[in-house]
Structure 1
Amino acid sequence: MSDSTRIWSPISYDRDGKQVDCLRLPISTDTSAYGWIAIPAICLKNGDGPTAVLIAGTHGDEYEGQIALMRIARKLKPADLRGRIIILPSLNFPAVQAGRRVSPVDEGNLNRHYPGRAHGTATEMIAHYVTEVLLPMADLVVDLHAGGRSLDYIPCALIRPGKTAQHHEKLVDLLRVFGAPIGYLTNGSGGGGNTTLPAAAERTGAPVLTAELGGGATLNPSGLQLAEQGVLRLLKHIGVLPRYDVTEPGPVRLMESSTTDLLVYAGTDGLFEPLARLGEEVSEGQLAGLIHSIDRPHNDPEQVHFGRAGLIASKRFPTLVKRGDCLFELMQDIASSQTRG
């Protein structure tokens, strides 16, 4: 363990067996000067072998991954394993408790704080622990997400482009094994850029697969099933569950979303009336929706158009919008030859 991290745990990652406890995030408040917040953690280990780190609850209002990892933690036994699995179903626990994207402790968005700081805010301390303690151990990291309150996603999985052709092909293989209908490449230009967990993992070389499984702060049953079965397939793929029976993945459509012009934003405040559906193929210039002014109801609504052609991977969930809110995210197909870096 890194000496600089301020988070500690009774769990020993080198001990065989199944350990169920927590990470202890130090917090000092008016009513608890030397207190800590418990971040639930499960570690299963059986001898030598690969290490998989499974994460959900980076954002507290995304639920498919949280429940999928709870199910997996209850289901697996050390005898099933060859190696080690570390499961964190609610990594940003304060946000999970509050059902919010960001932490109520410091308003921190965990997936915008990597690589974190040992002596930073609560959210920065969590990011630092993942970066300095968990990532160096990992042969695979799975980070399960959804659209939260503001977005709805078609179930999909994503990777960042690999640094070498060999590394990139290994990541593309993870997309195919996980088995989401859509697997896409992104450099994070439309979101967290270099402040996300996958960006931090590039320093250690740990392969990271991220999944988007639904949205609207609701539970998508198909996203939940994909999360559970996809993670089990990945664990078998890397050799942690060598004898475990898993379902076969379906076909994966390889796409990309690495430029900001594939995102559609609100140019004004108002009530958004979408004129395209999640999963729909749209053309450049097509009318995407209307924004109706609530303080100037007699004015014609503002038209919003798609700047590029593509498939709608996510759309805004709430109707009330402000200027700068993301309304749609598009993806475009890539040739198989382009997936090799």
Structure 2
Amino acid sequence: MPSAFVYAGPTEDKWSRKVAAVEAFGQPYCVVVKPDFVAGSISGAADRVGVTMISTELAGRGTVNRRVLAEARTGLHRLLAHVGVLPIPSGSDDSASHSGRDADGSAGADDGITYLELRADSAVMARGAGLFEPSVDLGQHVAVGDLVGRVHFIEELDRPWQEYRAHLDGLVCTLRHPTLVQTGTTLVNIGVPLRAHSRLEN
């Protein structure tokens, strides 16, 4: 789903700058994870040297479409204007630029940005190999116990399917696309809503 992706914190000042950048980029969702300073992490390296960094997931599945491209161009222009690289477009409405609405206008300016925590236990993973049948959509609210999908066992046709249920209350923020799965494949990730602008505690 169209979203910004940021590491939380690591300080109040750095987090405030990240939130401002996320708001300028203006996608409907922002996925937040705990900071990670291990070698090889671009976000962690940016945090270490004090550079404000956000990344994004706009479409996924190795594809783009016209709506995604329009959102990417518009959001990038707003972000570059926010940091002073480009001028603010004449006639732009600052309140609309931070609305997080889709390109077709389906979400209004009052909807704002939904902040979601991606936790270590957010994933629902396959316990066996087979064909994944999803029962939810991206962005859908789920509660503990809700059915999120089934895995059908193609090597054992007489074996009943295996159901997978939500273990957290939240939103479906990733959904497995290729139908074929193996043991340990992530089927869905459930993001837990955060208060807007809240910073995760380490």
Cα RMSD (Å)? 2.2
| Residue matched to 2:178 | 318
Q: How far is 1:297 from its partner? A: 0.8
Query: Which residue of 301, 321, 327 corresponds with 2:161?
Result: 301
The answer on whether the counterparts of 1:187 and 1:193 sit within 8 Å (CA) in structure 2 is no
Partner of 1:263: 123
Correspondent of 2:32 among 185, 191, 195: 185
Q: 1:250 is matched with which residue: 99, 104, 107?
A: 99
Q: Determine the structure 2 residue equivalent to 1:283.
A: 143
> Within 1, Cα distance between the matches of 2:75 and 2:67?
12
Deviation at 1:166, TM superposition (A): 1.3
Q: Secondary structure at the match of 1:289?
A: strand
**3-state SS of paired residue (1:261):** coil
Confirm whether residue 327 of structure 1 aligns to residue 187 of structure 2: yes
Report the TM-score when normalising by structure 1. Answer: 0.51
Shift of 1:237: 0.6
Report whether the alignment pairs 1:156 with 2:16.
Answer: no
Contact 2:9 / 2:35 at 8 angstroms: preserved in 1? no
Per-residue Cα deviation, 1:171-229 (whole angstroms, up to 9, x for no partner)? 0111111000012311278xx97632111211211111111011222213322222111
Give, in whole Å, the separation in 1 of the partners of 2:39 and 2:116.
18
Point out the structure with max Rg over C-alpha: 1
Partner of 2:104: none
Write out per-residue CA displacement over residues 108-154 of structure 1, whole angstroms, 9 at most, x where no aligned residue. xxxxxxxxxxxxxxxxxxxxxxxxxxxxxxxxxxxxxxxxxxxxxx1
In the alignment, which residue of structure 2 is the partner of 1:236? 81
The equivalent of 2:56 in structure 1 is: 211
Please tell me the residue identity of whatever aligns with 2:18.
Answer: L
Cα deviation, residue 265, structure 1 = 0.9
Q: Is the 8 A contact 1:266 1:327 kept in 2?
A: yes
Q: 1:337 to 1:228 in 2, by over 3 A?
A: closer
How many residue pairs were aligned? 186
Counterpart of 1:249, as a letter, is H
CA distance in structure 2 between the partners assigned to 1:254 and 1:193 by the alignment: 28
Evaluate the alpha carbon distance shift between residue 186 and residue 212 of structure 1 in structure 2; reply closer, same or farther with a 3 A threshold. Answer: same
Q: Would the aligned equivalents of 2:34 and 2:200 in 1 still touch at CA under 8 Å?
A: no
Aligned amino acid, residue 276 of structure 1: V
The separation in 2 between residues aligned to 1:222 and 1:233, in whole angstroms, is 17
Q: Which consecutive unaligned segments of at least 5 residues does structure 1 have?
A: 1-153
Scaled by the length of structure 2, the TM-score of the pair is 0.83
Verify: 1:198 aligned to 2:58, yes or no.
no
